[in-house]
Amino acid sequence: MAKVLMKGNEAIALAAIKGGVDAFYGYPITPQNEVPEYLSKHLLANGKVFLQSESEVSAINMVYGAAGAGARVMTSSSSPGIALKQEGISYIAAAELPCLIVSVMRGGPGLGGIQPSQADYYQATRGGGNGDYSLIVYAPETIQEVADTIKESFDIADYYRNPVMVLVDGLIGQMMESVDFDKPIKERFLPEKDWATNGTANHPGRRNVANSLQIDPNALEQHNIHLQEKYNLIKKNETRYEMINFDDPEYVIVAYGTMARICRSAIEMLNKEGIKVGMIRPISLFPYPEKAFDEIPKNAKGILCAELSMGQMLDDVLIANNGRHKVGFFGRSGGMLPDPEEIVDAIKNFSERVVK
């Protein structure tokens, strides 16, 4: 298959099929509807499972069931729908079951709007569910990167027995761009799912139980310590980021997803004017690429965190920067998209952007 022009949401769906998805459970919500629409046609035609649930709450628990049974399973939704799924996501993370959750962000809070946004960074990386759990969160910027990430995310989820979230904004979901689905992904040794609840006939002498209940506080603490060790391993192995134009930059922009692309164009414009600006583009939002910040030159004038939100990743930028440089913020929200000129202006007037 050569390069094809495809809508982001459809590319998510096709990449999931290429990644070997067995089952999709979900509920309609704009702007991600092309994901279930595409899968409804192509999964059922290939003897796989597609089921439209009665609610997001139900969908995520269907995912829980199928993941526990050992299937490659996914759901997709958008901001208010992901909010409804948080309880189930916490259970899945606690029971250490692998699955893929696609989140196509729209403006919030509340019912908000339907235009592109990055206002669910907290929701993705901090979680709305209860307890000490983390998702592995990837935020690709192009449809090619979306497809590659989706394909690989099933392996990563299986390897760590942890839910993976692929976080994009509505623009990535709705836009069309060329994509090649045959790019190879990293090969991983994936152990048998000998924990799957698929009937003791498949594993005589042992009952498999998918469970998050630990009534003994000591046992629950041990479980949490185990989870943290796993997250630390994920941090070590799966942190992803890109350093762009990092040739002794005066300013460093930190941005992900669509905002990173807008900033790439802004950086070209600034460089033409002789202002050297580099960028750290986090690809994994959890684990966050804190180490990249060590590469920022000591004499850099500042870091500009740019988001389609009122400042959420900003927290991680401040933590990673650890007081070394001035940090400024540029944000648009509610579905408003900046053009590159606005970023150019923000860098030129950096002092007005500095976060107190």
Partner 1 sequence: MAETTVKYEKTKGLTDKPLSYCPGCTHGIIHKLVAEALVDLDILDKTIAIASVGCSVFSYEFFNCDAQQAPHGRACAEATGIKRVLPDNIVFTYQGDGDLASIGIAETIHAANRGENITVIFVNNAIYGMTGGQMAPTSLPGQKTTTSQNGRDTDWTGGPIKISEMLATIDSVAYLERVSVHDPKNYLKAKKAIKKAFQYQKEKRGFSMIEIVSTCPVNWGMKPVDAMNWVKEEMIPVFPLGVFKDKGADNE
Partner 2 sequence: MNSNIKVAGFGGQGVMMFGQVLAYAAIYDEINGLWFPSYGPETRGGTANCSVIVSDKQINSPTFKDANHLVAFNFPSLEKFREKVSEEGLILYNSSLIKDDVNEEGRVCVGVPANDIATELGNEKVANMAMMGAYLELTHLFSDKTIEAIIKKFLGERKAHLLDVNMQAIQKGKDFIKDLGVTYA
Picked from partner 1, partner 2, none, the partner binding residue 220 (CB below 5 to 8 A depending on kind) is: none
Enter the tokens of residue 148: 């590659």
Backbone dihedral region for residue 89 (phi beyond 0: left; psi -120 to 50: alpha; all else: beta): alpha
Q: Which of 118, 38, 101, 139 is nearest to 310 (CA)?
A: 118
Stretch that binds partner 1, among 20-28, 272-280, 336-344, 345-353 (CB under 8 A): 20-28
Among 63, 164, 227, 262, binds partner 1 (CB under 8 A): 63
Contact call for residue 5 and partner 2 (CB under 8 A): yes
The end-to-end CA distance of the chain, in Å, is 51
Cα–Cα distance for residue pair 224/211, rounded to 1 Å:
14
Q: How far is the CB of 273 from partner 2 (least distance, A)?
A: 16
Identity of the residue, 53 or 265, whose beta carbon is nearer to partner 2 in the bound complex: 265
Among 16, 23, 252, 267, binds partner 1 (CB under 8 A): 23
Total interface residues for partner 2 by CB under 8 A: 26
Binding residues among 120-179 for partner 2 as defined by CB under 8 A: 170-171, 174-178
The dihedral formed by the CA atoms of 154, 259, 123 and 155, expressed in degrees to the nearest 10: 10
**Residue appearing with tokens 């089952």:** 23
Stretch that binds partner 2, among 208-216, 234-242, 248-256, 262-270 (CB under 8 A): 262-270
Stretch that binds partner 2, among 1-9, 232-240, 245-253, 346-354 (CB under 8 A): 1-9
Alpha carbon distances (Å) from 356 to 108, 121, 280, 299, 323? 25, 21, 22, 20, 12
Q: How far is the CB of 178 from partner 2 (least distance, A)?
A: 5
Which secondary-structure segment (H or E) carries 263? helix 257-272
Query: 313 with 260: CB under 8 angstroms?
Result: no
Identity of the residue, 176 or 310, whose beta carbon is nearer to partner 2 in the bound complex: 176
Enter the tokens of residue 228: 């943290």
Contact call for residue 201 and partner 1 (CB under 8 A): yes
Contact call for residue 31 and partner 2 (CB under 8 A): yes
Query: 255 with 266: CB under 8 angstroms?
Result: no
Picked from partner 1, partner 2, none, the partner binding residue 176 (CB below 5 to 8 A depending on kind) is: partner 2
Picked from partner 1, partner 2, none, the partner binding residue 318 (CB below 5 to 8 A depending on kind) is: none
The dihedral formed by the CA atoms of 98, 288, 57 and 156, expressed in degrees to the nearest 10: -20
Cα–Cα distance for residue pair 134/137, rounded to 1 Å:
9
Q: Which of 326, 322, 321, 320 is nearest to 302 (CA)?
A: 326
Identity of the residue, 161 or 276, whose beta carbon is nearer to partner 2 in the bound complex: 276
Among 5, 180, 200, 295, binds partner 1 (CB under 8 A): 200
**Residue appearing with tokens 């939704």:** 77
Contact call for residue 115 and partner 2 (CB under 8 A): yes
Q: Which residues bind partner 1 (CB under 8 A)?
A: 22-23, 25, 49, 51, 53-55, 57-59, 61-71, 73, 87-88, 91, 95, 197-201, 204, 207-213
Binding site for partner 2 (CB under 8 A): 3-5, 30-31, 114-115, 170-171, 174-178, 258, 261-262, 264-266, 268, 337-341
